[in-house]
Amino acid sequence: MAEGHWSAKHLLGIAELEANDITSILDTAESFREVASRPIKKVPTLRGKTVLNVFFESSTRTRSSFEIAEKRMSADAINFSTSTSSLSKGESMLDTARNLEAMAPDVLVIRHPHPRVPHQLAGLIDSSIVNAGDGAHEHPTQALLDAFTIRRHKGTLEGLRVAIVGDIEHSRVVRSNVLLLRKMGASVVVAGPRTMMPRHAEALGAEVAYRVEDALEGADVVMMLRIQLERQGNSGSQLLLPSTDEYFHLFGLSAERLALAKDDAIVLHPGPMNRGVEITSEVADGARSVILEQVANGLAVRMAVLYLLAGVA
């Protein structure tokens, strides 16, 4: 196992990491990636450790990815979701914390629809906490797996131009990615309809574009976001987007548009994809797409994070 230098109690967000922490996590993930190629994909690193996956918001993908990562490391992985347990998002933070702590987990993986809930729980609880997405705030393991994927193809993150296209306002993937990529010396341009852009988008630390073509021009990496019609708040999705068809015509990633990016540009998507909405099948399944690699890399990165937080050398 590679020795990581990142040592912290929690992974709450990219905001809390320095560039060398990020490098250390990514380096550690490289050695875990190798585990996946073995015939027996299990290592004893977290034997005897209990990891609770606590999801206050449904997410099959992220939860499964964490769960597989935990099992490959021989941890006792237990899932809690609001639908299957007494946990509720209307419960006081202290009660939530006490209930979770009563199960004496070593690590809590938390997904919550509200920003900074994992951060608040971190102040109330002894276990290590991994933020698996808090509202539209952060999703650090997603940004790390994206960075890992980019680095494998480009060798480095420094100096790259990364275009992120979609619903910028409601995306935790964007916030974590912009923070990470900027810390690693990449430049980022975010693009989307004005209705899906926060009104003070410049505060995110990225260049802002309102034409997808402007964002794609000269990009080394293109990251397309899932258009989530279900996550548009009270204002109603139809206020942000008249139709998915119109979105596709204005912002969808087609082969012709991808041609604006660099010749060796790669295409990422955090999944699950809406084919024909944010991306064509031609691009999604094409040679430049690294979307399936992201899924595999997600396991390696999550194993690395769990190892660095709770593993015994």
Partner 1 sequence: MKEQDPVERGPVQRDPVELVRAAKAIDGFPSGSVLVRGGRVVDPTQSQLAPLQAQAAAQAQASEGAATLDAVCDVLIVDGVVEAVGTDLEAPEGAEILDATGKVVIPGLIDIHVHLREPGQEWKETVASGTRAAAAGGFTAVACMANTQPTNDCRSVTEHIVEEARRAACARVYPLGAISKGLAGRELAEFGDMAKAGAVAVSDDGKPVENAELMRRAFDYARHFDLPVVQHAQDMEVSGDGVMHEGEFSARLGVPSIPAIAEDLMVARDLLLLEETGGRYHVQHLSSGRSVELIKQAKERGLAVSCEVSPHHLLLTDEDVWKAGLDPNIKMNPPLRSAADRDALVAGLLDGTIDCIASDHAPHHPDEKQLDFSAAPFGIVGLETMVSLILDRFVRSGHIDLARFVELLSTVPAQLMGLPGGSLAPGSIGDVTLLDLECKITVDAGSFESLSRNTPFDGWTLAGAPAGTVVSGRII
Q: How far is the CB of 130 from partner 1 (least distance, A)?
A: 17
240 or 305: CB nearest partner 1: 240
83 or 92: CB nearest partner 1: 92
Q: How far is the CB of 260 from partner 1 (least distance, A)?
A: 27
12 or 300: CB nearest partner 1: 12
Q: How far is the CB of 80 from partner 1 (least distance, A)?
A: 17
Q: How far is the CB of 38 from partner 1 (least distance, A)?
A: 38
DSSP code string of the chain: -PPP----S-B--GGG--HHHHHHHHHHHHHHHHHTTSSS----TTTT-EEEEEESS--HHHHHHHHHHHHHTT-EEEEEETTTSS--TTS-HHHHHHHHHTT--SEEEEEESSTTHHHHHHTT-SSEEEEEEETTTB-HHHHHHHHHHHHHHHS--TT-EEEEES--TT-HHHHHHHHHHHHTT-EEEEE--GGGS-TTGGGGTSEEESSHHHHHTT-SEEEEPP--TT-S-TT-HHHH-S-HHHHHHHH-B-HHHHTTS-TT-EEE--S---BTTTB-HHHHTSTTB-HHHHHHHHHHHHHHHHHHHH---
45 or 141: CB nearest partner 1: 141
77 or 188: CB nearest partner 1: 188
37 or 92: CB nearest partner 1: 92
Q: Which residues bind partner 1 (CB under 8 A)?
A: 89-95, 112-117, 119-120, 135-138, 169-172, 175, 198-201, 203-204, 233-235
Q: How far is the CB of 199 from partner 1 (least distance, A)?
A: 6
Q: How far is the CB of 96 from partner 1 (least distance, A)?
A: 9
